[in-house]
Structure 1
Amino acid sequence: MESKRQRQIAKQIQKDLGEIFQREMKQIFDKAFVTITDVKTTPDLSIARVYLSFLLTKDKEGLLGVIRENTKAIRNHLATRVRHQFRIVPELQFYLDDTAEYAQKIEDLFANIVIPPAPIEEEE
């Protein structure tokens, strides 16, 4: 279970990374739109697991690789923003969040289910 401090740190990281991705790091994403869907921190606040969702791109794994290659630069941008708030800037680990795609797949499965009508019972 996450502590209140973990949730506060995660929320701040999510907010700041969203701004970094939209402003400072926009050029590395081409025309793709990157959304930070969730951030989870370890209890000692040394590692932040960042879950990303991508729009307007076909190669999500390739874009995730580009982000992972630029992790050091992203962490430096984050450090300049939170240096007065955090004692330690956590290491960033980026993961692909595919919950939206999974939910759409489940919705499609439910939409394709054919339920036969119940037999009509005769009254006597």
Structure 2
Amino acid sequence: MSIRTEKVASLLQQELGAILEKELPRSSALSTVVDVKVTADLGIARIYVSVIGTEEQRTAIMAWLHDETKYLRKLLSAKIRHHFRRIPEIEFFEDRIYERASRIEQLLREVRKAPEQHD
């Protein structure tokens, strides 16, 4: 990524994080904007969201994000319009990195607990 796209991605991550904190439906799930990838022409921003909660909560939050993409882009536009001529289209993707990391940690703990077996 170029310096420009990195700066745009960082700004979008910060602003979308604040927007989602206020706009997401209240549930016991924790949602975080983990990463933002912006195309070289700044036309599309891929937003990676981590949702920690039950499968139903993850599904509901991701469905809400997809349904409300236009509304969220409008809110984003109101916050950052002085930075851009054109606000990128936004696409939401679920990032399950924390879930995978937890599983790896669990497996490592199990391996450490298992007594050493010699053949």
TM-score by length of 1: 0.84
- Separation in 1, partners of 2:54, 2:11: 27
Alignment match, 2:93: 95
**Secondary structure of 2:36's match?**
strand
Q: 1:62 aligns with which of 60, 63, 70?
A: 60
Rg larger in structure? 1
Deviation larger for 83-92 or 31-40: 31-40
CA RMSD, Structure 1 to Structure 2 (Å):
1.8
Q: Which residue of 2 aligns with 1:30?
A: 26
Amino acid at match of 1:106: I
Give the Cα separation in 2 of the matches to 1:41 and 1:58: 28
**How far off is 1:62 after superposition?**
2.2
Deviation at 1:61? 1.8
May I ask how many residue pairs the two structures share in their alignment? 115
Letter in 2 for 1:30: R
* Partner secondary structure for residue 62 of structure 2: helix
Match of 1:5 in 2: 4
Q: Cα offset for 1:86?
A: 1.1
Structure 2 partner of 1:44: 41
Aligned equivalent of 1:116:
116
Q: What's 2:81 paired with?
A: 83
Name the SS of the counterpart of 2:76 in structure 1. Answer: helix
By how many angstroms is 1:93 displaced? 0.5
Q: Which one has a larger percent helix, Structure 1 or Structure 2?
A: 2
C-alpha offsets along residues 52-83 of structure 1, whole Å, 9 cap, x if unaligned? 11235542022101110000000000001111
The TM-score, its normalising length taken from structure 2, stands at 0.87
CA distance in 1, matches of 2:82, 2:8: 13
What is the percentage of aligned positions where both structures have the same residue? Answer: 33
Q: Which runs of 5+ in 1 are unaligned?
A: 119-124
* Letter paired with 2:116: P
**Structure 2: runs of 5+ lacking an equivalent:** none
Q: Which runs of 4+ in 1 moved over 4 A?
A: none
